[in-house]
Structures are given as structure tokens and as C-alpha cells.
Structure 1
Amino acid sequence: MKTHPIFLRILIFVLVCSCSFTSKEIQFHNSHEPNRANVPFSDVVETENLLFLTGQIGKDHKAGALVSGGIKSETKQVIENIRDVLEHHNSSLDRVVKCTVILKNIEDFKDFNSVYTTYFTNKPARTTFAASGLAGGASIEIDVIASK
């Protein structure tokens, strides 16, 4: 019995597709900070080898309040918070591939950037814009996407 070439091609295509398109489950992670255990969002969503972090503000989680000192202090605390989350998930700042930065006041850009550039030396892709009324009275919020 002779097998038709188109049948073989279809069979090979189906086998290849079923093997190469398997994906890992999406994981929704709660915060590692005990006082953020009941927030209505995930601290990190993990898929394949990427970590999508929720936005961080300049809140000192141990003290339960925004740090004082203005945009530079808040920016430093935001990035330290991001670092903590990444390390908790076996990643680091040098694995960040994309940052989204929201400033309360675009006039703070220069001061924010002077702190930001000391942490993100790999120069990940970035979007920066200003919006009024950030959560918790913050002057800055940053979310990142990082490689695991």
C-alpha cells in the first residue's frame, strides 16, 4: 500500500506542532511581604522565562509608609523594592528587559533619571510618562518585566 505524500506532510506537521507548542502554566504569585498578602493583584506573574512585576512605589514596607526626601529617595526605594521582589523569584535587576515609569510630575525626570541610571546599567527598554494621582500619594511608580 502506497502512502500519499500529502498525508505524510500533514502527519509530520501535526506531530511537530503538538510537540513544539507546549507551554508552561502561568503562575500568579502573592507578595513575599506579609502586609501585602491580601492585595487584590499578583505581585508577580510568571510565564515561560519572564516575570511581570506589579508596579512599585517608594514605600518602605517595613515602616509601612512612603520614604521621605523627595523624588530621589522615592526612586531609590522603588528600585530597592523591585530588587527584593526579583531576588525572591531568583532574578535580578540586570535581568530587567523593560521598565514602565510613571512620574507624578514630569519636572522630576532629571532627578529620577540620575538615580535610575545607577541601578539599571544594562539600559533596559523604558517608557516614562507623567500622571497625577499615583497610589499612596507616591511621586513615582515603576513596573518591570524581567527574564528569570
Structure 2
Amino acid sequence: MFATRHLASLTRSMSTLSRVHTAKAPAAIGPYAQAIKTNGMVYTSGQIPVVPETGNVVEGGITEQTRQSLTNLSEVLKEAGSDLNKVVKTTVFLKDMNDFVAMNEVYASFFSEHQPARSAVQVARLPKDVAVEIECVALTD
């Protein structure tokens, strides 16, 4: 009986999943969505500092790359019916933790009033050898 109810609940939840896509952020470079919207939440894939119009990594260092990653993230959220003020949690992946202070200065300009929970971790390598990738979980309308 429990298994039947659980399966029915899971099936209902699965039917409310919707894929989010906007041309104002880089297209997924693999078999995944820019974000998934479900039950009043949006879960984004990591956004890297690729300029959507060119498909190239933005020129510059960690400052420019963080700005582009957060701009891309903002566009995905907008398409999902959300925005940076509704972000619950972010995860920042850094190629080099020595870039933390510079990344944090740019990050603070995007999250000045509303400051979501955040994790920042150093990783061995990121797609396209970028310096930063940022993902989030947010509320939707």
C-alpha cells in the first residue's frame, strides 16, 4: 500500500518537472538542462563564464568570469520566473581558492541586499578550463 501511494506521489511530482531554456545564457554543452523548475523551486545547472552570443569564454580573469557566470545565472532564473532575490542557496566552484576574494567582491555586487546560503569549493578542473562555475536553488513565482 505504501509503495503504491509513494509511486503515485512520485509520478505526480515527475509530471510537474519543466525544463528551463533561454538563449540569453549559454546552451547546455551536454545532456542536461540549464535548469529544472518544479514545485515552486528552480534548480540550475552550473553556469560558466561563456558569452551566449559567441559561445566563447569571456575575456579577462576571475572578476570578468564571475560577472559573466552570475549574469548567465540571472538570465536562467529570469526565464524560470525567478530572480537573484529569490535564491536560497548557491554553490561556487573555483579553479583556484586564491581567487576567492576577487570572486567574492563581484558576487557581493549581485547579492548586496539578499544574501543566500553559499558554499565555495576549489575543484581540480572546470568545463572549458574556466576559473569559476556557479549554480543555485531558488524559489519561483
Please confirm whether the aligned pair reaches a TM-score higher than 0.5, indicating the same fold: yes
How far apart are the structure 1 equivalents of 2:79 and 2:20? 11
Taking structure 1 as the reference length, the TM-score comes to 0.79
User: In 2, Cα distance between the equivalents of 1:134 and 1:37?
Assistant: 14
Shift of 1:30: 4.8
Q: Structure 1 residues 135 and 112, CA, compared in 2 at 3 Å: closer, same or farther?
A: same
* Aligned-partner Cα distance in 2 for 1:96–1:39: 25
The alpha-carbon deviation at position 85 of structure 1 amounts to 0.7
Structure whose alpha-carbon radius of gyration is higher: 1
Instruction: Tell me what 1:84 maps to.
Output: 75
Quote the offset at 1:61 in angstroms: 1.2
Partner of 2:60: 69
Match of 2:131 in 1: 139
User: Relative to structure 2, which stretch is displaced further, 76-85 or 36-45?
Assistant: 36-45
| RMSD after superposition | 2.2
Alpha-carbon offset, residue 36 of structure 1? 2.4
Residue in structure 2 matched with residue 124 of structure 1 by the alignment: 116
Mark the runs of 5 or more structure 2 residues left unpaired by the alignment.
none
Summarize the alignment of residues 22-61 of structure 1 with structure 2, pairs less than 5 Å apart. 24=13, 25-33=15-23, 36=27, 39-61=30-52
Q: Which has the higher contact order (CA 8 A, sep 6+)?
A: 2
The residue correspondences of 1:16-27 to structure 2 (distance < 5 A) are: 24=13, 25-27=15-17
Report the AA paired with residue 29 of structure 1.
R
Aligned residues: 129
Q: State, as a whole percentage, how many aligned pairs show the same letter.
A: 29
Structure 1: unaligned runs, 5 residues or longer: 1-16
Q: Is the contact between residue 20 and residue 37 of structure 2 (CA under 8 Å) also seen in structure 1? A: no
**Structure 1 CA distance, aligned partners of 2:29 and 2:63?**
29
Aligned-partner Cα distance in 1 for 2:102–2:22: 30
Code of the aligned partner of 2:67: K
1:135/1:38 CA distance change after superposition, 3 Å: closer
Equivalent position of 2:93 in the other structure: 102
Q: Secondary structure at the match of 2:89?
A: strand
After superposition, give the CA deviation of every residue in 1:29-87 in whole Å (9 maximum; x if it has no partner). 15323972773001111121100000000110111111111000000000000111111
Contact kept? 1:26, 1:45, Cα under 8 Å: no
